Structure 1
């Protein structure tokens, strides 16, 4: 059949098959089998391989994440920067005294931040904060990609992630840090509440102006506490976190100001969308312009001394309450974000500083008199009813003289110790050598240098009176008024020095390492104005122990320390304490403090008790005195500049009366009076006593022994007046405790009198543990 026929047959629907064509030879483009050959690229990236690779990578990523999740845990502690926080110190009225620390941060509990202010941060940074799991996967992926590509830090982190970065990690922008941030954030979200995370975030974030944390930021920008922030102010602080330096209104460019205002509006608008802010209230809000930057208060002047004592007392409480070492306690206190409120009364502190300047330091001229450069002053003022330290003077300036003169214990308190001896005699119902009770009316031999005896036996101790003054027969009251050493040296022996030192410890003196030897009757131990203020405050508080405290409260964001009551129980009887107070009013009205205190023109009817003291060679001079509502101890110390060696104060300020000597009745008494009479009003002692200067003695005087010779000098002090002065009204109520009874058995032998004027060393304590007595100027 020809081709034409075949075509016609196909057209007619014939079924004759077309002849088979001859196959050509296979080529590279068309392999045997008839299928086209695949290219190399198609063979390498087939969809099956791509899908398999993708699934493999996913499994690998999941496995890696699981391994990472198991290996990375929440760090046990914060990073070094997060642990550094400023300690904030406040006066008793809550005003800031100083901020101290390498990092200006102060953490606060979230409960102290208004709820609306909390919401400003959530609205600004992470609207889904309360519902998310701690991470933002989209933001995290974007952050990882941009970090890997070297494009720097990118946004998108949740509040939890930012808290983790601030508190646990570092600010380094690396893939490793990002992955750790993600894992830790997930775990933190599971273990901590949202409030704990938010508190951590706002307390660790940087707000500019050197401020870390919302409390420091509130002070830096609005000079207020976080708990007093308004919503508008909170929104500004929240807006700052995006660019603290660029958005600080005080230094921002015009562009920066527009940006921060836009950000502020964004925050408030988001709060409306989240139903956290009423739309009408939002429309009425105006931009809260922050205040100009203000320098942080430093530790200069008296502040450093106040801060140091507050730290020491806080460390002591932590040691006792948490059973930790001193070094551990110090590490817990310094730069750890404490808010420490002191008992310091701001007005009294200013008055004390002014009194020191007007009565002492303003008169010093080291260029004219070398000794003026050696004068150091210290003072502590205590409320005897509460035990609070209301004012303190530590030295001319914390950065010029680091040693706190108010707490140093390397100078002798001298005759300010004499009231302790009398208190010990009264508390222990002590008797004289011939068995008579020791009272304010008991007569002793006031001969200078008289050898102390113990039932007829000499003890080898005979201290001189100031200027070797002889008083002969003299009452205890007159001996206290005139600070007669020979009388109190014998009284110490009559009481028993072990009992004297025990009473000193009960009253508040640190007697560690002190020997109970006769030389201590001269106040030859070391003591501080703080210690002496505590002792006299205990006397003022009717024998109830007063341990002066500068701490009112101490709090961190997560804890507070219980501050014990500075006023304790009865350590000596009220009768004993009140009798000593009664006697000490005589020192002021008729004794060594009369000229500068009793006759001071500033005195306005205040009753005053106190005692002067001057150590050997005028190396220290004291006046510790009190009214019914305030106790203040003022000490002057001679310290050679540079070496710290103790030197004499003689000649300071060019003082001519007494002859060149600075004793307790001069500048210490003047400083005390200028301060005390400026901050106290008229008050009357409520004394439970039947003896002493404040109340006329009711019994005839008793004698400790018959003087061996006529006094070589007529006593200059007055005998107790026939009637009490108007300012010292006798109490209307009888004593609460009966008078002490004399011992049932008299001494086995009468005392012997020794020659006067001889000075010998104590055989128990050679040198007297108090220096050279030869100058004879102990006493006033």
Structure 2
């Protein structure tokens, strides 16, 4: 009986060792898991739409004037406002089984491994959900810890959000190159149109970009690579029955027309005038990151006409050493600004074109006369009140008397107020000012919104 007893004791000792090893292994696994989880971000923040969004300025007819942003040009759009072609193109090239698998795609990982090892063609194995997590919640470093976090969060996100919502968030947050983040910003940057108006060829091109935006950019050194990638997107769309062979051929032959690379701005003086008003009312953060959509009173067609008119007029005055000019068109009755031309050319650095001459302080000249005569009307004068337009000198304490002249160098005798104002005669205007008093005229001007009088 003794040998049997010893055998049992040895077995128990061996079992205890195995149990201890097992417990140690489980403890280490749990500790590692907790270590990974301790810094994991909240998955709820992925759908909070709290990322910075661009503010867009429009004219009165909905034409885009400019987009303000900090580092990312980004505008959220709902899934139903995104081109069906773009949604299908993205799924075809990024995650063909997106609506079939869960957080991770084992078939996709296997397929990517086979293509990489045996066909020497690199394919990604990450799902759209994983890419969303990686882009929105995690840092970009490539480590095992980050990959584990990515997979865990992908499962959490799949448990919280529908597939449509995940696709919507991905399309609104992925980078399309440069400052363009999300499909709406990218659509304007590359094609100068909202994303819902993209055709098949344009959609396939945008879907091609996220893998390597700088390489496939049409503005880069090798734009043919972007075209090649677009054709691959179209091939996969046909392969996955999203489009027909004829649609693939037509889209592949379609001549893409890209926007100019610069960040376009229309009516720049007016746009920055509006921005200053917005910042004053809402703060800089709201303007540059709050995703505001601002419709203004400006008429862009009228603005362009006014800008061209100013430029043409200045060109005829170059012989007189005139290099700049401005114009403001307002709607009578409401004061709405329909056009604001701050200079001949905003981008003319030599003549300080970025300075808004419309807003710059200057001598008012004859533009103050209507206010001057308005004070007279308040005091009981009428449009028919006569003034004697003759040589007149006014006392000027400490200096020589002030003897104004008319623009034509002539005197016109007795004229009514309406005639004096219509012809901008100077002598009747000074007589009106003397009758009103300077303080009364300035008070009326201030009540009308003119707040920039310097001390006299």
Gaps of 5+ in 1: 1-31, 38-42, 144-152, 432-437, 453-457, 515-524, 526-764, 770-780
Structure 1 position 107, deviation (Å): 1.8
In the alignment, which of 410, 421, 425 is matched to residue 480 of structure 1?
421
Deviations 1:177-225 (A, max 9, x none): 3344445555555666655543332122233577432124334555532
Gaps of 5+ in 2: 113-121
1:20-31 mapped onto 2 (5 Å cutoff): none
Structure 1 position 336, deviation (Å): 6.7
Aligned partners of 1:167 and 1:204 also within 8 Å: yes
Aligned counterparts of 1:87 and 1:162: Cα–Cα separation in 2:
26
Aligned partners of 2:129 and 2:166 also within 8 Å: yes
Aligned partner of residue 155 in structure 1, secondary structure:
coil
Q: Does 1:229 align with 2:202?
A: no
Task: Tell me the residue number matched to 1:379.
Answer: 327
Aligned counterparts of 1:363 and 1:491: Cα–Cα separation in 2:
34
In the alignment, which of 304, 307, 311 is matched to residue 357 of structure 1?
311
Q: Does 1:313 align with 2:277?
A: yes
In structure 2, do the counterparts of structure 1 residues 510 and 63 end up closer, same or farther at CA, with 3 Å as the change threshold? farther
1:329-478 mapped onto 2 (5 Å cutoff): 329-334=283-288, 343-365=297-319, 372=321, 375-384=323-332, 387-399=335-347, 400=349, 401-426=352-377, 428=378, 430-431=379-380, 438-447=381-390, 449=392, 451=394, 464-466=403-405, 473-478=414-419
Aligned partner of residue 380 in structure 1, secondary structure:
strand
Aligned partners of 2:267 and 2:340 also within 8 Å: no
1:286-305 mapped onto 2 (5 Å cutoff): 286-287=248-249, 288-289=251-252, 291-298=256-263, 303-305=267-269
Task: Tell me the residue number matched to 1:214.
Answer: 183
Task: Tell me the residue number matched to 1:177.
Answer: 146
Aligned partners of 1:74 and 1:187 also within 8 Å: no
In structure 2, do the counterparts of structure 1 residues 142 and 50 end up closer, same or farther at CA, with 3 Å as the change threshold? farther
1:570-581 mapped onto 2 (5 Å cutoff): none
Deviations 1:650-690 (A, max 9, x none): xxxxxxxxxxxxxxxxxxxxxxxxxxxxxxxxxxxxxxxxx
Aligned partners of 1:129 and 1:159 also within 8 Å: yes
Aligned partner of residue 332 in structure 2, secondary structure:
coil
Structure 1 position 337, deviation (Å): 6.0
What is the TM-score normalised by the length of structure 2? Answer: 0.71
In structure 2, do the counterparts of structure 1 residues 506 and 109 end up closer, same or farther at CA, with 3 Å as the change threshold? farther
Aligned positions, number: 424
Task: Tell me the residue number matched to 1:107.
Answer: 75
Structure 1 position 297, deviation (Å): 4.2
Task: Tell me the residue number matched to 1:666.
Answer: none
Two-structure CA RMSD over aligned residues (Å): 4.8
Structure 1 position 92, deviation (Å): 5.1
Structure 1 position 60, deviation (Å): 3.7
Structure 1 position 67, deviation (Å): 5.9
Deviates further, 83-92 or 259-268: 83-92
Task: Tell me the residue number matched to 2:236.
Answer: 266
Aligned partner of residue 248 in structure 2, secondary structure:
coil
In the alignment, which of 156, 169, 175 is matched to residue 125 of structure 2?
156
What is the TM-score normalised by the length of structure 1? Answer: 0.45
Aligned counterparts of 1:171 and 1:106: Cα–Cα separation in 2:
20
Task: Tell me the residue number matched to 1:733.
Answer: none
Aligned counterparts of 1:344 and 1:139: Cα–Cα separation in 2:
52
